């Protein structure tokens, strides 16, 4: 089972109706379709699309870092800076 919560695109097309109804009461299907179509043309939509295209989590690497953290062999500040830099590079590329 994947560690992420959703393995579908972020456009909401595969969401159960109850999720959309709870999150956005009073919005009909036509309006929801228009929102979903238009979000792709916004800066946030482009970021969400880019995030959805990123590779899956490399579980073995995560486990290795956790082990190194618990033994004190991992420089958290340096590792976090590197990880954030790489994420930002991928999002803005």
Model confidence at 1, pLDDT cuts 50, 70, 90, reads: very low
Read off the tokens for 7: 């393995």
Angle at 87 between CA 67 and CA 64, to 5 degrees: 10
- The predicted-structure confidence for 56-71, as pLDDT tens digits, reads as follows 888 898 899 889 988 9
Contact of 59 with 3, CB cutoff 8 Å? yes
Model confidence at 36, pLDDT cuts 50, 70, 90, reads: confident
Q: Considering only residues 20 and 93, tell me which one the structure prediction assigns the higher pLDDT.
A: 93
């Amino acid at each position: 089972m994947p560690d992420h919560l959703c393995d579908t695109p972020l456009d909401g097309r595969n969401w159960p109706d109850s999720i959309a109804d709870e999150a956005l009461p009073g919005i009909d299907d036509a309006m929801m379709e228009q929102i979903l179509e238009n979000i792709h043309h916004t800066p946030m939509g482009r970021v969400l699309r880019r995030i959805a295209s990123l590779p899956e989590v490399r579980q073995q690497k995560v486990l290795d870092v956790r082990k190194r953290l618990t033994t004190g062999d991992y420089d958290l500040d340096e590792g976090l800076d590197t990880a954030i830099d790489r994420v930002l590079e991928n999002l803005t590329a």
